[in-house]
Structure formats: C-alpha cells, structure tokens
Amino acid sequence: MAVQIQLRRDSSSNWTTANPTLALGELGLETDGYKYKIGDGATAWNSLSYAELAGTDVFTINEQTGTAYTLAAGDAGKLIKMTNAAANTVTVPPSSSVNYDIGTTINVVQYGAGQTTLTAGAGVTIYSYNSALNITGQYGQAVLTKCATDTWIAAGLLS
C-alpha cells in the first residue's frame, strides 16, 4: 500500500492569525511565499523559525515556457516554474536516465494558467494522496521527493 502524505498549507497571513502549534515533525507550508516551518509539538507558529534547505534558503528557479518538460540532473533542489497558458506536463525520468540521490527534492509550481500535470517516465512510480498528479490551479505548488530507485512521492496542492 502506498503511503499518502499531505502537508498543512495556508497563506502567511492565515498562519500568523491562527498561530497553531504544529505536531512534532509536522510541516506547515506558506503557499504565498513557499517557505515552511517544522513543528516541535510545543511552539506556536509565530515563534517557530523557518526551516532551511541544506546550505541555502533560496531556490534556484528553472523557468519553463513550453508544454512538456522532462526533469534534468541539474533540477535537484530547484523550483521548476511552469509558465505556459496551455496544459503542460513535467515528466520524472527513470534512474537509468537521470540518477538522482535518494532524498532529492524538486519543487514544481504551476505559474501559468495551463494545468500542470506530473507524469512518470518509463518504469517510474509517483505516489501521491488519492493518486493526484495535477497541480491544483495557478500558483499551486507540489514537491517531488525521491524515496527509492524510480520511486517518488508527490505532495502539495494536487488534485
């Protein structure tokens, strides 16, 4: 059975107003600034620090204007910004083509009006909540995480 993960998410102003206490290890994503915090089970949102990526707190953005894009080796840790007004796809290639390290994350945002769909290359499996692989609307974002050879988890604003 596939493990399904969904992150708590909201705008920064709603997080600040609600000021919840995240459970130990729980992620909270700000959908308007693409920053996140990790709960400790005791500290309220407004007192938590933002989490940092190893070595950096800024994503490099790879802007794509076409309707089809296959992830490349250099996309590890980047934000793929899909800007097309028409439906478009982001394909996760097999490890035989691009051998990302286990634990690699790649963020994808549907910046344009066109529906962005995550697709699995030959032999690749992408698990997600309810098997959803369409980013939910313009400015929605998903995170792909490689958890085994040719196996990825997609989490975020997916339908």
pLDDT tens column, 100-132: 999 999 999 999 999 999 999 999 999 999 999
pTM: 0.66
The CATH-assigned architecture of domain 61-156 is Sandwich (2.60)
Render pLDDT for 81-94 as a digit per residue (tens, 0 to 9): 999 999 999 999 99
DSSP string, 88-145: EEEEE--TTT--PPTT-EEEEEE-SSSPEEEEE-TT-EEE-GGG--BB-STT-EEEEE
- Work out whether strand 79-82 and strand 105-110 pair parallel, antiparallel, or are unpaired: parallel
Which of 59, 150, 63, 65 has its CA nearest to residue 106? 59
- Name the band, by pLDDT with cuts 50, 70 and 90, for residue 58: low
Provide CATH 2.60.120.640 ranges for the chain: 61-156
Confidence of residue 24 (pLDDT cuts 50, 70, 90): confident
